[in-house]
Amino acid sequence: MVDFAKLRTTAPKPKSTDPVEIFRRLPKPAGINDLYTSQAEVLQQWYPRRGDKDIVLKLHTGGGKTLVGLLMAQSTINETSEPVLFLAPTTQLVNQTLEKAKGLGIPAVPYERKKPLNDAFVNGSAIMVATYKALFNGQSKFKVRGNGQAQKVGAIILDDAHTAFSEVRDAFTLEVSSQADRERYQTLTGLFRNAFKDSDRLGTFDDVLSGEDFAILEVPYWAWFEQLGAVQEILKGAGRDTYAFSWPLLRDNLHLCHALISRSAFTVTPILPLVDLFPTFVEAPRRIYMSATIADDSEIIRTFDANRESVRNALSSRSLAGISERMILIPDLMPFAFKVRDVNAKLLKWASGDKGRGAILLAPSDKAASQWADVGSVAIGSEAVEKCVLALQQRATNGPVIFSNRYDGIDLPGDSCRLLVMSGLPAGTSNYEFFRASALYGGASITRMLAQRIEQGIGRGARGAGDHCVVILSGSDLAAWIAKDANFRFLTSATRAQMKMGSVVSEAIENVDDIFRTIERSLDRDSDWVEYHAETLAELVEDDKPDETGYHLASAERKAFNNWRDGHPEQAIAKLTKVLDEVAGVDLQSKGWLVQFAARIAAKWGNSERAEELQQDAYAKNRNLLRPKIQPPYRQLRSPGRQATAIAAQIGSYRIRKGFMQTFEQVTSNLHGGASANQFEQALSELGKMVGLSAERHDIGGVGPDVLWLLPDMTGLVIEAKSRKDKKNAFTKEQHGQLLVAAEWFGKNYPGYRAIRVSVHPTNVATEPAAADSSYVLTYDRLQAMVGDARALLVRLCESQLKPSDLETECAQLLDTSPIRADRLPASYLQPFVVKAE
């Protein structure tokens, strides 16, 4: 018998370091004949740059990043004989990588818990494939700095780097559960009660601790610094067992952390991940970040401390290989009314039943997912998710399967998913993400994050060239987000192209039956649809431009963090202030975030005067941040211009005008007595802006109105919003006193303006001691009438086919006969109080 193994060893050939040549020599498993053009391109770009410490490569979802990474890893081993570590976000993806390596004949071994690192890896003869958490944890076998000899590697391949940001942060995050560790949770939160009292947030603080409020509160950094010793004592006892994987990473770095309080946990997480604690990672001569073609790569810089120029000059391909065929439909923007939820349920059951194809739904939270339990199997938690994914992949089920907050880390190629419904705008996955979203609300950073989540989500169901899927983007919040131009530009070119096609297709659908027929054309591979998609995609896709502003801000934030950590606070502050002076086009929310970071550094440095000055500046830029100890001077709202101009400009900012109405309905859905005070006041402020006025929320420490509307004629509606008041209760002297104080504040800050005092209250009845005869009430009934009149006006404008230049004229004409016109508005909706008969 011929001994082929012996023949291989008796005629050795020099090992190739060229990854394309390595692939040529490998045995090819079924289904792989050659590299995609895109794969070959990035490998050819990488080879001459392989000595760079940081390299980013971007391929379309399903474009074969794993194979590229394995070839780069094998090339490094052949050249250096050093160990190579290949990281993936989940165990499922680790197993897929190992299977792919086995099929190609590339030596690869798994990371195994409770066992020493595999000798084949340590000796540089096999790639080790592991999750990110295998490396980044306080008990890491690769060793934490200062705790033994670290495992050296020749390279680290970071697969799906764009999905690993939360995984890496979680490794450095300690959460004290309000349920499982109740006593410690109460002790920790109790340390900061006075801090929230001093900042007039004691009511919210108590509501969060009692479980009545879902807010995420950041402990003011000055209070956090004062209590670091006490926090250390409270946590160190449990650090060796309960928090064994995170405490060793945080115990000497608490001053570099955010402290967050929610109804579920007391969270300690670093401002940026402390990746320098792992010499294996920091000292790796090659770090290769493999990412999907997302629009924002700046988080690679923040999370991994990657070189800005390396991220900016990412390896990529112009080839469309790897872009799956997606028919994207948006029911909420279709030109007819129907119950979207009911139709989605029928579509999911029809696709999985009658059509025999995999069907899934992505929901933004466990609660939202549970509401679909009548439609399919709800997968919550890693174990349930892995089980359902495997069943879909092996065709043991067609679903429908409902996944909670799983926008990445699950691959469902082919018939395992032909219909994907994304229900609602994606949300954060951790207390930190919810906190950051709140602090940066309305800014570019959060828009980028949402764009990435949406792209990740729609990529679950079609995994590369030749694959196809129908994607339904459902929910008024998601539809409104997509319809707005300022958001749409944060998506990648390929996704924008597919969504533009989807908008055209959605607008051409005539009724519910037509939705089913249209989807069937994709499922049954109708040649007209397939050719339309391919031709239009090729025409619309263009190169995505690097986000220079995002790269500069991320680099400055990471460098400032490193400077501070290294004991150079002055340099850190200078780095942050310099980037804001030099980089144009930074939104106010991001400016405030970075200035507050500088204030935090100044406070820890002991320069309290500088810290207070910076915090005032941060708060003036972004009111979602920590309120400074001393209030900065109030900045007047800009006087509103022409009402028709403001309304037309807002509508014009939406690619699809119906999206503006989705936003309107979303806002006004919180204008009712059951909404929280925060929801109600925010909605009232947003309503004012949507009807063309200047508006803001301003109640700070009991000073100023809950909501202020400015009218063009130097008039201000000073509004106290008393939501959740019983209809039986009359307007009281105490409530009127609050309104008088707010009006006094207005008079001082808006000299020359006329104030109209308004209370939003269930009834226009006041007690005699209230003496409210010169104040007005906006009852819930009249508020709903205002909403209805605004809706009528805005619907006509949004449904018009007028070009933007003519929209303002049309708006002005409609306002002439509308009670919502600014000069008519007070008389149209406000009523005088009447005294309650004793």
Residue-level pLDDT at 371: 92
The CATH number of 548-621 is 1.25.40
- If residue 175 lies in a helix (H) or strand (E), which one and from where to where? strand 174-177
Tokens representing 400 are 């429908």
What span, in angstroms and rounded, lies between the C-alpha atoms of 149 and 306? 24
What span, in angstroms and rounded, lies between the C-alpha atoms of 300 and 150? 24
CATH among 3.40.720, 3.30.70, 3.30.160, 3.40.91 for 643-835? 3.40.91
Residue-level pLDDT at 61: 65
Per-domain boundaries in the chain: 4-168+279-312, 173-272, 325-500, 548-621, 643-835
Q: Tell whether the torsion through CA atoms of 320, 321, 326 and 328 is positive or negative.
A: negative
Which residue is listed with tokens 């009359």? Answer: 730
Strands (E), 283-336: 287-292, 325-329
Residue-level pLDDT at 444: 75
Polymer length in residues for the chain: 838
| pLDDT tens digits for range 210-248 | 887 778 899 999 999 999 999 999 998 776 678 889 999
Domain 4-168+279-312 homologous superfamily, CATH? P-loop containing nucleotide triphosphate hydrolases (3.40.50.300)
Q: Which long-range contacts (CB under 8 A, 24 or more apart) does 367-375 make?
A: 368/404, 368/423, 368/424, 369/402, 369/403, 369/404, 369/405, 372/345, 372/402, 372/423, 373/402, 374/345, 375/345, 375/348, 375/349, 375/400, 375/402
What span, in angstroms and rounded, lies between the C-alpha atoms of 693 and 643? 7
Q: Are strands 265-270 and 174-177 parallel, antiparallel or unpaired?
A: antiparallel
Residue-level pLDDT at 672: 83
Residue type, 474: S
Tokens representing 516 are 């089913």
Ranges of residues in the chain with a pLDDT under 50 are: none
**CA-angle at 571, arms to 569 and 572, nearest 5°:** 60
Closest to 270 in 3D by CA, of 561, 554, 555: 561
Closest to 745 in 3D by CA, of 733, 730, 755: 755
Tokens representing 431 are 């207390």
- With H, G, I as helix, E, B as strand and everything else as coil, classify residue 352: helix
Closest to 52 in 3D by CA, of 300, 292, 299, 288: 288
The CATH number of 325-500 is 3.40.50.300
Reported pTM: 0.83
Same CATH fold assignment for domains 548-621 and 643-835: no
Residue-level pLDDT at 27: 76
Residue-level pLDDT at 321: 56
Contact 673, 729 (CB under 8 A): no
Tokens representing 115 are 């066992």
